[in-house]
Every structure is written in C-alpha cells, then in structure tokens.
Structure 1
Amino acid sequence: SSLLVCPPSSPSLSLAFLFVLTLSSLCHGACVEVDSDTEAVANEGFKLGCISCKMRGEVPATASVDWYFRAQDESEYTHIYSYEDEVGEITDERFTERLDWNGSKRTRDLQDGSIYILNVTYNDTGTYRCFFNRILTFSNYEYHTNASKTIFMNVVPRLTRGMASILSEVMMYVSIIGLQFWLVVEMIYCYRKISAAGEEALRESAAEYLAIASESKDNCAGVQVAE
C-alpha cells in the first residue's frame, strides 16, 4: 500500500509545505563529525566518540570499525574492539564485559563508530584510535576508503569544569542581570511618560472644560441682556 500526501490548496500553505519537505530531505541522513570528549570519571561510564561521514551520501556503502588502545606505559597499540555486520567483538581481556557499541544501529553503512566504556578505571588512561574501513558500491566497481581518529582519554576522580565553561556561565548571569536592569529602567521611563501624558491630558481637559463653562456663561449673560 502507498500513502499519497496532497499539498494544501492555499498558495501560502503550499509554500510552507514545500519548505518543510525541503528541510526534511536535507536533514535526512545528515552527518556531522564531532570531536569526542576526552575526560572520563573513574568508576563511571564514558563514551569514546568516533564519527566518519561519507563524502557521497547517496552512494551505498558498507563499513567496519576497529578500535585500538595504547596505555601510558606502552609503546604500541593493542586491538581492543571490532564491529562488522552489526556484530561487535571485544578482543582485549582488559575490557572484557566493559565495552559496548554506541555507534550506528541497524545498518551496515556505518558513520558513527563510537563505543562506550563501563566502569572506567585509571588504567584506561591512554590513547585510543578508531579505524573505518569503508567500501563504496558504484554501478560497475567498488571503492575502498579508510579513515581514522585519535583520542587521548584522561581519567580523573571527578569531572572538572573548564575555564571556558565557567566564563560562559558568568557571562550568561551578567547578561540576565543586565537585561533585567534594562527592563526596570524601561518600565520606569514608560511609567513616567504615561504619567506625564496623563497629567497633560488632564490639564487640557480642565482647560477645555473651563473654556466651555466660560463660553456658556457669556452666552447666558448675552441672552439676559437681549431680554
């Protein structure tokens, strides 16, 4: 069965409908390569992010991901995890039952190769590398590409806040206080302006009333003289 979607008859609604469809087509399958966090807290979980976007999103592809680890006191990398055909495998006993796939789900066209470490220990401090082995499938041939990311992870007793985070929070509070002060000043200014306008209108009304009363009195006097 198929679903037929009819656009609205109104021109303005039709334009909005087309705009929404355009945004939906642009957002579908979007990929952004974001750097991984690097500071993990001991005895907690931590996500090692690794994203490799395809240059040609419309080309079908399959990919596998391999992770390697080098501790601070080691000189060579050790293969610790592999993910292929929607199946992950831990290959280093140091991470037995502590690694889990946290990347692309229900697809062989992997673009997010992130993993999640459970119960982080200080021995997990070191350099991690993830490798993407991707096969792009064209009509007449296959094209192999590789990509890699390197992440240095540091394990700390508790999460520390960076100076940029502190400054951004301070600036946020300063902006809020400044906005509130500006609103108070604006309210006082508007109140005084409205009060001044009200007093002026009251004076004009009083003067107009006196003028009408005086004119009425003069008219009454003229009528009595005429009589």
Structure 2
Amino acid sequence: CLSAAAMMMKMMKMRRLLLVCVFCALSVSLCSGACAEVDSDTEAVAGEPFKLGCISCKMRGEVEASATVDWLFKARGEADFVHIYSYDGEASSIIDERFQDRMEWHGSKKTFDLQDASVDLLNVTFNDSGVYRCIFNRVLSYEHYEFSTIATKLVPLTVVAKGTTTPDICVSITVFSVSTLFVLQTFFFNYRKYLAEYLAIASESKDNCAGVQVAE
C-alpha cells in the first residue's frame, strides 16, 4: 500500500514534468520565433512607407532548407505581372526602375532558410496600387535527396490619401496569439495526460490497500 508521502512524491514529480513541458513549449514559441503565417495589410497611405507582408512557413521545421524570393507587381489596369524585386538570402536586387531606391528587405535575417519575405515599400505613390505576388522558391534538404517547392502569396494593395491601415501592434498581437494558442494546447494536452496517470496511480494504490486489508 502506497503511503501518503509516496503519493505526494509522485504528484510532485508529475508536476515538475508538466512544468518542464510548458517551459519547452514557451521556449519554442517565444524564444525560437515559431513561424506564423499572417496576412499582409492591404491599404497604404501615399507618401508614407508600407510593409508588404509575405510569410510562408515550412511544414516541418526540423528539415534543413534554403530559399530565394521574388516579388512581382501588376499595376491597376494592367494584365500581366512584372518582376520587380528578388532576394537570395545575402543580397537583394530591385529590377523595375519604378521601385528603384524604394524597396528594402524586411524579412528573415542571417539565414538562407527564408520564411518571412516581407519588404518595405518607401514613399508610396498612388501608382503603387495593384496586386503584388510574392514567390518562395524553396529547396528542402533530406538525408539522401532534395525536394523543390514553390509557394505563392498575393497582396492586393490600395493607396489612399488618408488611410486606416492596421497598426503594427495589431499584427504583433495576432502573431503572439497564435504562439500562445500553441502553448495552451500543449499545456492542456500534458495536463490531461498526467492527470490520467495520477488517477491510475491513485486507483492502483487504493486496490493495493484493499488487498492488504483483506489479507489481514
């Protein structure tokens, strides 16, 4: 028959394990920058800078990868997309003269494993209205082979004289909320798991005690 002290020790051990799991989840979510795909804002103010957001997360974070990014633009009233910008993890290139000195990389830094391909559009003009296409050319590196994928995002942009753009803090809150949801899911999953183990131990202890009493 398990004593009260032994039961308490087992409960404390399970609580420590649960806290470790929660800490690990928080570390992955907040410290290592868990990837969350958040849509770009779509309204810019003329004369001000604007962030064209584009995020494409890998399905499996542990797989090594490299990527290059291309931005295309289709102006309002035009039929075709035009290549305007590219980035390879080290250097960027502005291809269309309409955007010369007006586009800056605002995505993943110090890595070839690009998942955030956001760019800053400086000194926005009304002619910047249209649809932007962000293209990830990604190579996933497995032990014995490589696999190429292409991910595409579209950002329709409207330029106004006086806008109602979403503040950056709202985007940050959205990203944080996604990460927090992941942490809470992990917490409750492990809580239910260890609660079930505790109930099983308690039931076993009760049965053992009953068996000892009958034997006596």
Amino acid at match of 2:19: A
Corresponding position: 1:33 with 2:22: no
How far has the Cα of 1:84 moved from its partner?
0.2
Corresponding position: 1:150 with 2:176: no
How far has the Cα of 1:151 moved from its partner?
1.2
Mapping of residues 86-165 of structure 1, within 5 Å: 86-160=90-164
What does the per-residue CA deviation read over 1:88-122, in whole Å, with 9 as the maximum and x for residues that have no partner?
Answer: 11001000000000111111000001111000000
Worse overlay, 27-36 or 46-55: 27-36
How far has the Cα of 1:14 moved from its partner?
6.6
Unaligned runs of 5+ in 1: 1-8, 163-227
How far has the Cα of 1:74 moved from its partner?
1.7
Q: Classify the secondary structure of the residue corresponding to 2:110.
A: coil
Corresponding position: 1:19 with 2:26: no
Worse overlay, 79-88 or 11-20: 11-20
What does the per-residue CA deviation read over 1:172-207, in whole Å, with 9 as the maximum and x for residues that have no partner?
Answer: xxxxxxxxxxxxxxxxxxxxxxxxxxxxxxxxxxxx
Q: Classify the secondary structure of the residue corresponding to 1:25.
A: helix
Aligned length: 154
How far has the Cα of 1:18 moved from its partner?
4.7
Match of 1:64 among 68, 72, 88: 68
Q: Classify the secondary structure of the residue corresponding to 2:98.
A: helix
CA contact (8 A) 2:128 2:159 kept: yes
Residue 84 of structure 2: aligned partner: 80
**TM-score, length-normalised on structure 1?**
0.63
Kindly indicate whether structure 1 or structure 2 has the higher relative contact order, using CA contacts under 8 Å at least 6 residues apart: 2
CA–CA separation in structure 2 for the residues paired with 1:116 and 1:26? 26
Mapping of residues 144-223 of structure 1, within 5 Å: 144-160=148-164
Residue 54 of structure 1: aligned partner: 58
RMSD: 2.1
How far has the Cα of 1:25 moved from its partner?
3.2
How far has the Cα of 1:31 moved from its partner?
1.0
CA–CA separation in structure 2 for the residues paired with 1:134 and 1:158? 38
CA–CA separation in structure 2 for the residues paired with 1:72 and 1:26? 39
> Is the alpha carbon distance of 1:77 and 1:14 closer, same or farther for their aligned partners in structure 2, counting shifts above 3 Å?
closer
Q: Percent identity?
A: 54
How far has the Cα of 1:17 moved from its partner?
4.4
**TM-score, length-normalised on structure 2?**
0.66
CA–CA separation in structure 1 for the residues paired with 2:69 and 2:135? 6
Amino acid at match of 1:118: L
Larger Rg: 1
CA–CA separation in structure 1 for the residues paired with 2:42 and 2:69? 20
